[in-house]
Amino acid sequence: MAVAVAHPNIALVKYWGKADSERNLPAAESLSLTLGAMFTQAQVELSGGSTDALVINGVSRSDKELLRVSRFLDLIGGSNRARARVTSTTNFPMSAGLASSAAAFAALALAGSAAYGSKLDRRELSILARRGSGSAARSMLGGFVRVRIESVDGYVEAFAEQVESKLELHAAIAIVKGGEKELGSTDGMEHTRQTSPYHSQWLSTVTKDMKAAIVALGSGDFEALADVTEGNALAMHADAMAARPGILYFEPETLELVRALRALRKSGVLVTFTIDAGPNVVALAPARELPKVTEALAAILGSDRVLTSPPGEGAKLVES
Ligand code: DP6
């Protein structure tokens, strides 16, 4: 039996669009912060059974999630592998909108490769995790992490790499709405790729934003990073909104939170925000600013709908 733990991450430069769905290859690079307060633990136990089994937070699954996990384990052990019982447990609400697939597939890549005796280095593990979910590549590592795209002899690969940073940021997550998203990231980004007239512009924006964000982190320039983070999130949503029919992830409270955070930043507080494929808002700020940030978010949603997190470490094997 193998057990691994991984943290979710929040993207400052978003992954929104694939180059190859078969290999789950992103069309552009991305950058995120691993979130230490939340985690998923994945346990993989090879069973003598004829089918795989999946239990998520105590509930047995026999739907498309089991199929996704089985296909993922095939990437590790081959299609004739021993069947497995996978148990996944999270300490954060799925409703937090923190791409729960990121922590889940990062932990599963690590536990699965240990269970099947497959020896992979961190880069290979991040590539494997990416095959499960693009954002999961980034959860293999801690702190600020980029997905780098490299082409060797015409073969394109995308893997995670840690980014040097003079800034240490914490996250405050404002949970606008719980439950399943109306349109998940995988389908949302594919619909956007196929129908948004802004999509190629979005992809070139990402290339510029990646460069600017990495420079800002390296030099400790919070204002520059904040401009990129906020601009990139809004550009991703503009791309999605321009799809036909348009994808609208925002709720009224999303805008209320964004306006409050912008006002706070204008008043001199070092804070920026981002929004994933859902209505929740994630504020990013140095630790010393966090009380003011959470207070502003809680004034709108109530303190029980605001979660905070320090930066987190990369995925870890805890038992093998
Ligand atoms: C908006 O990683 O969930 O959170 O590769 O199809 O599983 P798949 O997509 P996923 O997409 C994440 C989209 C995002 C932005 C991001 O995390 O970069």
Q: Where are the domains of the chain?
A: 2-164, 170-309
**51-55, 92-96, 270-274 — which is least confidently predicted?**
92-96
Superfamily of domain 170-309: GHMP kinase, C-terminal domain (3.30.70.890)
Tens of pLDDT, residues 54-63: 999 999 998 8
Q: Is 269 exposed, middle or buried (0-12, 13-18, 19+ CB in 10 A)?
A: middle
Centre of ligand 1 to C-alpha 266, Å, is: 30
* Among protein residues, the one whose CA lies closest to atom 4 of ligand 1: 276
DSSP string of 251-286, one letter each residue:
-HHHHHHHHHHHHHHHTT---EEE--SSS-EEEEE-
Atom of ligand 1 nearest to the CA of 101: 3
Handedness of CA 111, 117, 120, 121 (dihedral sign): positive
Give the DSSP H/E element, type plus range, for residue 208. helix 199-219
Whether residue 180 has pLDDT greater than 70:
no
Q: pLDDT-based confidence at 209, cuts 50/70/90?
A: very high
Ligand 1 atom, smallest distance to 184 CA: 3
Residue 242, number of CB atoms within 10 A of its CB: 17
Closest by Cα among 254, 135, 237 to 196: 237
Pocket of ligand 1 (CB under 6 A): 11, 14-16, 24, 30, 99, 101, 133-135, 185-186, 276-277
Ligand 1: nearest atom to the Cα of 236: 1
What CATH class is the domain 2-164? alpha beta
Q: pLDDT tens for residues 281-309? A: 999 999 999 999 999 999 999 999 999 99
